[in-house]
Chains A and B, each alone.
Chain A
Amino acid sequence: MAATTEDVETLVADRGYAAGFVTDLEQDTVPPGLNEDVIRFISNKKNEPQWMLDWRLEAYRQWMTMTHPTWPHIHHEPIDYQAISYYSAPKSHEDKPDSLDDVDPKLLETYEKLGIPLKEQEVLAGVKGSENVAVDAVFDSVSVATTFKDKLAEAGVIFCSISEAIQEYPEIVKKHIGSVVPRGDNYFASLNSAVFTDGSFVYIPEGVTCPMELSTYFRINAENTGQFERTLIIAEKGSHVSYLEGCTAPQRDENQLHAAVVELIAEEDAEIKYSTVQNWYPGDENGKGGIYNFVTKRGDCRGDRSKISWTQVETGSAVTWKYPSCVLNGDNSVGEFYSVAVTRGMQQADTGTKMIHVGKNTKSTIIAKGISAAQGEQSYRGLVKVVPSASNARNFTQCDSLLIGDRCGAHTFPYVESKNSTAKLEHEATTSKIGEDQMFYCQQRGLSEEDAVNMIVNGFCKEVFNELPMEFAVEAQKLLNVTLENAVG
């Protein structure tokens, strides 16, 4: 128990004093606004080495020269970056609902359907006093995590928060951070580089196959650290790892902006499988509230014969801007992208992937399934790029859109650039409406309208679900069914 308590303390406690900023845990919030002092405060708070602070500041200065991208096919109110508080900011007690009675009943209904226990519902909904429950939950998961930690340590695998990694393994972090997504990469990545508060760090040593699926579930992040997450996964030569991200419960979260960065590095013969189930709060049916999700995810197949595979099921967020990508540097390296994205209500998504072929005989596969219902707007945006060095590069792209109802939209923006004549690129795209014929066929066999939609949609997504780890696939399917409830008619 002692070890557990310590772990919890490291999770929740502030790390020492920062000169000039005398704060205690209760007032651990910087006022809204962003400037170099705020970044110094964050870095100090986390007891970071000088190089990390310098890196953040450099990112911030670059960000200052950049502008918000206008090319995505999404529309939202301009974001006031000076109105956001950039440090952890546990929500003030007064803002929280007193009990589940004060929580949007629709949200609770969804929890119910996903089979989430009452206590957990309180935590997720941010009910006053449920912090104790959260700590309990942390206790539980930390003890779970500790058992796993022993097993992982035995294998030499490092799995911890990025803040911890900066303290404990500064050399590894320093070497790799920003090597896949440079701090000046894009507007949101630069912002994240300047102000990231936490995230995950994974290091798999040479020749090791990680003995278990790594999941953020085992390392419940303190409330609100999700806003500017930064994840770094390094797979050394010949190692294998499967990483699961996300929580299938919709979070009640008032944070408008989420700008995360994920960097994956696969050395020779290494394999990384990264799975996401994202179900952030999508806003209500009138488009009020909801998360703006601007994420930069990129994997570098650095070594020969390395492989990086992205699998994602995205049903949440009001606005999604996300293109998990692979840079295929190593010869014979492989990149994969399997995606199901759902937009309904007033949700908007501009999402897809980039496959950059640099090495010889590199191969990439893109399977993107978009489902739009109600007034959901969805765009697939994908780039397949073959540079002159990438002889015999192969790509297969399939993007399918399924429309439910007649008020939603689906768009496809495929970009293909090939500078090598030996490359073979295939692109298939379909757009279909859930056919009345399909619906009638299922209903004539006895299925209810609801079950018929679920069956058709799940069939449509099957190729992607097949790529998810077993227990995730079941949850994803369930989530999709709940998400699309009453979508027809």
Chain B
Amino acid sequence: MLDIKNLHAEVEGQPILKGIDLQIPTGEVHAIMGPNGSGKSTLASILAGREDYEITAGSVDYSGKSLLDLDASERACEGIFLGFQYPVEIPGVSNLYLLRAAVNARRAYRGESEIDAMDFMKQVQTTVEQVGMSMEMAKRGVNEGFSGGEKKRNEIFQMLLLEPRLAILDETDSGLDIDALKTVAKGINHLRSPDRSTVLVTHYKRLLEHVVPDRIHVLAGGRMVRSGGPELADELERYGYAGLEDEAQQASAVS
């Protein structure tokens, strides 16, 4: 589904990603872990089409298309969903209004007619129950006055409604109490299927106990320094990232 080759990116002349290689096969869930400032969120943003970064080298293939040639809304319509680390508030715009526009943008992209209002509300009803959100909250302004946990829950709600082919969740687990974490995990697992893929960006092993990934990759200093099975999480939990950062520094000294 996703094939990243030698991806280099910088912001204001400052290199952040220094040659990322990563393959996410269809139907798999991969976790990207790593210390603060390693470039995890940058990678997630770049994949979703944020334009604040300069791509200096490399390529990203998404189901046979060159991802970097598409803008953010085209990528969304192609089935990429980014669960934001800090979901922004959009005052006065109701959640459902945004979501309906999002659903219709996808349909228009595929040359389909707009969704029937009743059908849409039915989907909303089902999804709201799935993530334990109230209908009132679904109708409120986008993230307006939401707590940190509510914002994350709202991201999962949107994800489930939009049914992406590739979901990239940027620290969706941070700042959640255990119940909210379970809901979020349930949502991610619900979407797990042979024709979808998920990338979980996270600091902690906690989420991975509820959503067991097929692969774990460790990003440090702008490079992938380790890859392994789900057991890698235990190792990281035990020894921390310190050793890996040293590895990254050595690697960058060599290059």
- Set of chain A residues within 8 Å of B77, measured between Cβ atoms: 446
The answer to whether B84 and A445 have CB atoms under 8 Å apart is no
- Kindly specify which of B6-14, B95-103, B176-184, B230-238 makes contact with the partner chain: B95-103
Which of the four size classes fits the interface of chain A? 20 to 34
Using an 8 Å CB-CB cutoff, how does the interface string of A409-446 with B read, 1 for contact, 0 for none?
Answer: 00000000000000000000000000111101111111
B-side contacts of A437, CB under 8 Å: 88
A253 in the interface (beta carbon within 8 A): no
A449 and B74 CA atoms in complex are apart in Å by 11
Q: Do A441 and B84 touch (CB < 8 A)?
A: yes
Chain B 25-66 interface 0/1 with A at a Cβ cutoff of 8 Å (1 = within): 000000000000000000000001110100000000000000
- Across the interface, do A456 and B72 meet the contact criterion of CB distance under 8 Å? no
Q: Hey, which chain B residues are within 8 Å of A449, CB to CB?
A: 73
Given contacts A440-B72, A441-B84, A459-B141, contact A447 B90 (CB under 8 A): no
How far is B83's CA from A444's CA once the two chains are assembled, in angstroms? 10
Let me know if A442 and B71 touch, CB within 8 A.
no
Question: In the complex, which of the residues B52, B76, B93, B158 contacts A443, with contact meaning CB atoms closer than 8 Å?
Answer: B76
Give the CA-CA distance A14 to B93 in the complex, in Å.
51
Complex interface: chain A residues within 8 A of B109 (CB)? 446
Interface residues of A in 458-486 (CB under 8 A from B): 458-463
Chain A residue contacts of B71, Cβ below 8 A: 443
Q: Are A456 and B76 in contact (CB under 8 A)?
A: no
B-side contacts of A442, CB under 8 Å: 90, 98
Q: Is the CB of A456 within 8 A of B93?
A: yes
Bound Cα distance A463, B82 (Å): 30
Inter-subunit contact A460/B92 (CB<8 Å): yes
Q: How far is the CA of A443 from the CA of B87 in the complex (A)?
A: 13
- Return the contact of A462 from the options B72, B92, B99, B101 (Cβ within 8 A): B92
Residue of B75, B93, B106 near A458 (CB, 8 A) is: B93
> B102 contacts which chain A residues (CB < 8 A)?
445-447
Q: Please provide the chain B residues from 83 to 141 with a CB less than 8 Å away from any CB of chain A in the complex.
A: 84, 87-88, 90-93, 97-99, 101-102, 105-106, 109, 141
- What is the CA–CA distance of A443 and B50 in the complex, to the nearest angstrom? 9
Q: Is A448 an interface residue (CB 8 A)?
A: yes
A445 near B162 with CB under 8 A, answer: yes
Complex CA–CA separation, A393 to B125 (angstroms): 45
**With A and B bound together, what is the CA distance between A440 and B41 in angstroms?**
14
Docked-complex contact A447 and B92, CB < 8 angstroms: no
Q: Of B49, B81, B92, which is in contact with the most chain A CB atoms at under 10 Å from its CB?
A: B92
Q: Does A455 contact B (CB under 8 A)?
A: yes
On whether the beta carbons of B158 and A445 are closer than 8 Å, the reply is yes
**B79 shortest CB reach to chain A, Å:** 10
> How far, in angstroms, from A462 to B140 measured CA to CA in the complex?
13
**Which chain B residues lie closer than 8 Å to A446 at the CB level?**
73, 76-77, 101-102, 105-106, 109, 162
CB–CB B73/A447 < 8 A: yes
B98: contacting residue among A436, A440, A445, A460, CB under 8 A? A445
Looking at the assembled complex, report how far the CB atom of B52 sits from the nearest CB atom of chain A, in whole angstroms: 8
Chain A residues lying within 8 Å of B84, measured Cβ to Cβ, are 441, 444
Are A443 and B73 in contact (CB-based, < 8 A)?
yes
Asked if residues B88 and A435 are in contact (CB atoms below 8 Å), the reply is: yes
**Min C-beta distance of A171 to chain B, whole Å:** 47
Cβ of A284 under 8 Å from chain B:
no
For B52, B93, B109, B141, which residue has the most chain A Cβ atoms within 10 angstroms? B93
> What is the CA–CA distance of A437 and B72 in the complex, to the nearest angstrom?
12
> Complex formed: what's the CA distance from A444 to B141 in Å?
17
Among B73, B82, B88, B93, the residue within 8 A (CB) of A455 is B93
Chain A residues with Cβ below 8 Å from B90 are: 438, 441-442, 455-456, 459
Contacts of A460 in B (CB 8 A): 91-92
Say how far A370's CB is from chain B's closest CB, in angstroms. 15
Cβ–Cβ contact B48 & A444, under 8 A: yes
**A437 to B89 Cα, complex, angstroms:** 9
User: B105 to chain A: which residues have CB within 8 Å?
Assistant: 445-448, 451
Residues of chain A within 8 A of B158, CB atoms compared:
445
A437 to B85, CA, bound (A): 12
Q: Which residues of the other chain, B, contact A462 by a CB distance below 8 angstroms?
A: 91-93
Instruction: Tell me how far the C-beta of B159 lies from the nearest C-beta in chain A, rounded to whole angstroms.
Output: 10
Instruction: Type the 1/0 row for B201-234, where 1 means its CB is closer than 8 Å to any CB of A.
Output: 0000000000000000000000000000000000
Interchain CB contact under 8 A, A455 and B98? yes
A 157-174 contacts with B by CB, 8 A? none
Q: Which residues of B contact A459 (CB under 8 A)?
A: 90-93, 141-142
- Please report B residues at the A interface, Cβ cutoff 8 Å: 48-50, 52, 71-73, 75-77, 81-82, 84, 87-88, 90-93, 97-99, 101-102, 105-106, 109, 141-142, 158, 162
8 A-B residue pairs with Cβ-Cβ distance under 8 Å, sorted by A, are A445-B98, A445-B99, A445-B105, A447-B101, A448-B73, A455-B97, A462-B91, A462-B92
Given A440-B72, A446-B73, A459-B92, 18 further pairs, Cβ under 8 A = A435-B88, A438-B88, A438-B90, A442-B98, A443-B49, A444-B49, A444-B72, A446-B106, A446-B109, A446-B162, A447-B101, A447-B105, A448-B73, A455-B90, A456-B90, A459-B90, A460-B91, A462-B92
Which residues from chain A sit less than 8 Å from chain B, CB to CB?
Answer: 435-438, 440-449, 451, 455-456, 458-463
Closest 6 CB pairs of A and B: A459-B92, A459-B93, A462-B92, A446-B105, A446-B76, A445-B102
